[in-house]
Structure 1
Amino acid sequence: MTTPRLVVVRDRVATPALVVSFGLLLLVGVAGESAAKPGLGPRGWAPGDLVWAPAPALVTGLLWAAYLLGAVAVWLRLQGEPSVVSGVGMLGAVAARSRRRLAPGGWAVPVALGVLALLTGPFGSADHTNYAAYGRISALGGDPYLTPPSAWSPADPVVSGVEPPWTDTVSVYGPFATLLQTLTSHLGGSNVRETVWCWQVLIVLAWLGVRFLLLRSGATARRVDTLWTLNPLVFGIGVLGAHVDLVAAALGVVALVLAARNPLAAGLLAGLAVSCKVTYGVVGLAVLVGWWAHERASFTRRALTFVAAAVVVVAPLHLWAGPHVFDQLDRARRSISFATPWRLLYELLTGPLTSGDARTVVTWLAVAVALLLVVLLARLTRGLAPGTATGAAVRWTLVLSTAYTLAAPYSLPWYDLLTWATLPVLAASVLDTILLVRLAAMAVAYVPGRVVGMTPTVERVSLWVRRTPVPYAGLLVWGWLTLAATRGSSRTSEPRPPAPGR
């Protein structure tokens, strides 16, 4: 129960903290090249940057402050959440009140933030330069799954903009993501900034589209905005970082929302999602689980339609992409990122074991942990989703995607976007706080973001944060989930009722 003192603190602190957090993120985005933000060359017809370029230590401090303030603000806003909210497909009184609260200015702040995002340049990584390069190679008739940027013409202004450590790496993204990158390359031509800006438009539309779908499916406006729209961590990592994961998450949410009414359309969208990133296949699996649990009589018909539609999309895209589409994915699957708990074990095992054997041990242990996390998350989310096929599909999407990102040896902050795109549909629980701790820790770990442009001191400090406290924060999250699931720490008072009719 929320105490009066906490209400006062929440009201006085949460909103100012959100404003400052968003302001700092946008400031880094409109500033010039920095250790967080790659330079993109001449602006062309796209928005440019400020002359001011923050030093590596300053931009690191700004981003740390933005993410930590944002996490505090989101946590304070969560303290006002009711224990049960309406779910997907429930267009009853709560959803109606939610929509009335949004009108007429409910979209003013999200749209304004989207416009401001389009005035920035992406930061937090150099992935967007990779997208531009792979799209450029494809647009010019090359194969980005076979040709790394370093093997393309060094005189090409777009492909030559790729930064270490990705200069010798072929594309790891799915064929639909490559198709979108190719489209933005045709629009941007030989100008890197214009190409990246076209990609940013897709990102902002995907981010706003997820909000629209969540609201239309019945989740309360406050919960959607607390966890998604006005969450500085999601905004900074996903929108201002311009990651392809946001596009895939939006396609996945569309598939989940359409599944109950139109299995054919849902299958097409799920096929596009998995064709962006193969890990988004969890959406299709979750939809099938939802139908099996709640639509058993029509399961076969729905499942066949859904799978056939997905194949109709996936097969031509993969044929277009060529036989090498999974080459880099296969090479990358044994990577271990610094910020995961697995890095601690890998470094402990390296010495007694060869590097290859240590990676094999880590891989199999990660599979075991992922399965355990599926069980824990399934128990922890029981009763949090509406008792419908779509509610079950959303719940299992969250369970499967979250178990993967928490257990994977190679995990990055933007891998959590599908979790945060589905979490608003579930009722408030301790899971909100646990996942917020995870996202905040990962966001702080990957500041400033680039592997070039740092001073030795900033590089040393940022790597220490990534390799020392953050892996232990990951262990804390594992332990917290275990404790919460075994003790039944969910704050929901009872399972949600099914929707009254179809």
Structure 2
Amino acid sequence: MVPALPGPPGQAESWQPPWSLGLAPDGRLVVAMAAAAVVLGAIGLAAGLSCVDRLPKARTLVLAGCAAAGVLAFLPPSGSADHLNYAAYGRMAALGYDPYLTVPADLPGDPVIGHVEEWTRTPSVYGPVATAVQALASHVGGDSVRLTVFLMALVNAAAFAATGLLLHRATARATARGTAGVTAGDSVRQRRAALLWTANPLVVYQLVAGMHLDTLAVALVVAGLVARRGVPLGLGVAVKATVGVVALGAAWELRGNPRRLALVAGLATLTVVVAYLLAGPHSLDQLLNASRSVSLATPWALGKKALQAVFGSGAYHAWIQTGSLLLLAALAVVMLRGRPTEEREGPVVALAVAVAWLFATPYALPWYDGLGFALLALVAWPGLEAFLVARLTVLSLAYLPARQAHQPEDLSWRVDVVRQWVAPSLLLALTIVLLWWAARAGGRVRTPPAPAAPRPSGPSPESRSPSR
């Protein structure tokens, strides 16, 4: 679960954070404990959402979540080896190499790059803003993997806490101005927002304990959506391109003000273009390749196997991409039709498109779902929480752990069975239920209740009848 984080070369022991006891327990015990944590976290989250009005104060939840993020920043990242990739790409940029053209295998003797475990022949797939943060951490961390990762963990924890504080403030302001579709009661709405993001055990586990850069991307696009500013939206897209689906919500929010819409869209586009131009001509190469990938736990992996069984071996990328886009459009439209017209505001549109993308994309990992939970914290959408909680629980259990190095051989069934068959089957069923649920909600919106029959004038029959 936790890759080694060596300090500066030549030092057997390092005082640098992050710190751990280094007990190295049996891998089966660690995976079992992580699975128990995910299940208990999901149960606790579902229980909290069922009785939000009985939770502690919103401020208490926010402070508790921020404190947890602060503590986790001083512990080694767990669950995957992505942070080793981040450190390697930052090291390349700091040394003057192009991380979008160079692969870790090109520099195997480097004290930082040489510790990459899985992506040894893959150049960076992350945006230029992510690379800039990684390079800054590498400049300070130098030859120490440990210190480089710790500096990135501090940025990650700060982004997580900033998002929580932003959601706390935005939900209070939304209720005060009477935003359509919000839950009555400022304190209840803020408690729900805190539970969905800052005090959400599944989100904390994936985004903070796992130290994934999705945290920074979510922080920036949520800031852009709430403040209706183009620069944060552009910066978020320049961290991770897929979070750009949030821009559709911002555009919808400003549709009645063409001048403001043009300004926000122009600044967002300019920010993205400048960032990628500064990153160099190869910064988009891996982004295009990643768009054709299919991860094991998505329903599209089952579809790919079915296509190969019927039509023979092949990747069928074009077919899968076309199907995913059609499903995305269908989910977004059906979900929005389930909301009354007056409630289709910017955050609602952004949430619908983001959830549709999460359920429709052929390539998804559990930490991607942080975007859905952050947007859901801004919008009261009864029932939708259950789908996101169920989805993230399934993905979290399927990717226990996402890191494959040094795993006990008798746990291979977790990949061969759970990740490749059980998880995609469950997510396929969940997607079908989501479509049915959203279509049913849309039917109720389009069919208003029949007006009550007019009451007859004059005394009622009961008043004319003798009393008994």
Q: TM-score range by the shorter chain?
A: 0.7 to 0.9
The residue identity in structure 1 corresponding to 2:433 is: W
CA contact (8 A) 2:61 2:191 kept: no
1:274 corresponds to:
237
1:80 matched residue in structure 2: 51
Letter in 2 for 1:161: H
Q: Map residues 20-169 of structure 1 onto 2, 5 A cutoff.
A: 36-42=1-7, 43-81=14-52, 101-102=57-58, 107-152=62-107, 154-164=108-118, 166-169=119-122
Choose which of 250, 265, 268 in structure 2 pairs with 1:287.
250
Contact 1:56 1:458 survives alignment (8 Å): no
Contact 1:376 1:481 in 2 (8 A): no
Instruction: Give 1:56's aligned amino acid.
Output: G
Tell me: CA distance 1:491–1:74, structure 2 relative to 1, closer, same or farther (3 Å).
Answer: farther
Query: What is the DSSP-based 3-state SS (H/G/I as helix, E as strand, rest coil) of the residue aligned with 1:488?
Result: helix
For the residues of structure 2 that align with 1:182 and 1:244, how far apart are their CA atoms? 14
Which consecutive aligned stretches of 4+ in structure 1 deviate over 4 angstroms post-superposition?
A: 100-103, 489-492
Deviation, 1:286, is 1.6
Quote the residue 2:200 is aligned against: 231
| Structure 1 residue 357: Cα displacement | 5.3
Q: CA deviation at 1:482?
A: 1.7
- Give, as a single letter, the amino acid of the residue that structure 1 aligns with 2:300: W
Match of 2:11 in 1: none
| Alpha-carbon distance change, 102 to 226 in structure 1, aligned in 2, over 3 angstroms | closer
Match of 1:358 in 2: 316
Say whether the 8 Å CA contact 2:193–2:377 is kept in structure 1: yes
- Ranked by relative contact order (alpha carbons within 8 Å, sequence separation 6 or more), the top structure is 1
Q: CA deviation at 1:225?
A: 2.1
Q: CA deviation at 1:253?
A: 0.8
Per the alignment, residue 405 of structure 1 pairs with 358
Partner of 2:282: 324
- Residue 489 of structure 1 deviates from its aligned partner by 8.8
Deviations 1:271-319 (A, max 9, x none): 1011011112212222111111xxx1xx221122112222332222111
Tell whether the 8 Å contact from 1:255 to 1:267 is kept in structure 2 after alignment. yes
Aligned-partner Cα distance in 2 for 1:139–1:232? 35
SS in 2 for 1:425: coil
Q: Given the two structures, how large is their TM-score scaled by the length of structure 1?
A: 0.80
Count of aligned residue pairs for this structure pair: 422
* 1:306 is the counterpart of 2:277: no
Taking the aligned partners of 2:251 and 2:18, their CA distance within structure 1 comes to 44
Give the alignment partner of residue 477 of structure 1, picking from 408, 430, 433. Answer: 430
Q: For 1:489 and 1:236, how far apart are their aligned partners in 2?
A: 34
Deviation per CA, 1:337-356, whole angstroms, max 9, x where unpaired?
11011111211221433444
Work out the CA distance in 2 between the residues paired with 1:213 and 1:327.
34
**Corresponding residue for 1:22?**
none
- The answer to whether the Cα contact below 8 Å between 1:71 and 1:232 also exists between their aligned partners in 2 is yes
Q: Which residue of 2 aligns with 1:262?
A: none
User: 1:51 & 1:283 partners in 2: Cα distance?
Assistant: 41
Partner AA of 1:326 in structure 2 = L
1-side partners of 2:393 and 2:122: how far apart?
29
Q: How far did residue 371 of structure 1 move?
A: 1.2
Mapped to 2, the partners of 1:209 and 1:331 lie a distance apart of 32
Q: Deviations over 1:152-183 (max 9, x none)?
A: 2x22111111112x110001111111111111
Judging changes above 3 Å, is the alpha-carbon distance between structure 1 residues 246 and 461 closer, same or farther for their aligned structure 2 residues? same
Equivalent residue for 1:253?
222
Q: Which structure: larger Rg? A: 2
1:240 aligns with 2:203: no
What TM-score, normalized to structure 2?
0.85
Q: Secondary structure at the match of 2:254?
A: helix
How far 1:218 moved relative to its partner? 2.0
Structure 2 unaligned runs (5+)?
A: 8-13, 173-188, 446-468
Q: Deviations over 1:375-415 (max 9, x none)?
A: 222234x259x85xxx8221122111211121111111111
- 1:106/1:316 Cα in 2 relative to 1: closer, same or farther (>3 Å)? same
Give the Cα separation in 2 of the matches to 1:291 and 1:489.
24
Matched, 1:461 2:414: yes
What are the Cα deviations for residues 225-269 of structure 1, in whole angstroms up to 9, with x where unaligned?
Answer: 22111211100001111111110000011101111xxxxxx1111
| Residues 446, 490 of structure 1: alpha-carbon distance in 2 compared, 3 angstrom cutoff | farther
Describe the SS at the equivalent of 1:468.
helix
Secondary structure of the residue aligned to 2:77 is: coil
Whether the aligned pair in 2 keeps the contact of 1:44 and 1:194 (CA below 8 Å) is no
Q: CA RMSD, aligned part only?
A: 2.2
Separation of aligned partners in 2, 1:490 and 1:229: 34
Cα deviation, residue 490, structure 1: 11
User: Could you give the per-residue CA deviations for residues 11-58 of structure 1, whole angstroms, max 9, x where no partner exists?
Assistant: xxxxxxxxxxxxxxxxxxxxxxxxx11111134422322121122211
Shift of 1:463: 3.2
The answer to whether the Cα contact below 8 Å between 2:91 and 2:135 also exists between their aligned partners in 1 is: yes
Report the Cα distance in structure 2 between the residues aligned to 1:48 and 1:157, rounded to whole angstroms: 19
Q: Is the 8 A contact 2:61 2:198 kept in 1?
A: no
Superposed counterparts of 1:433-472, under 5 Å: 433-472=386-425
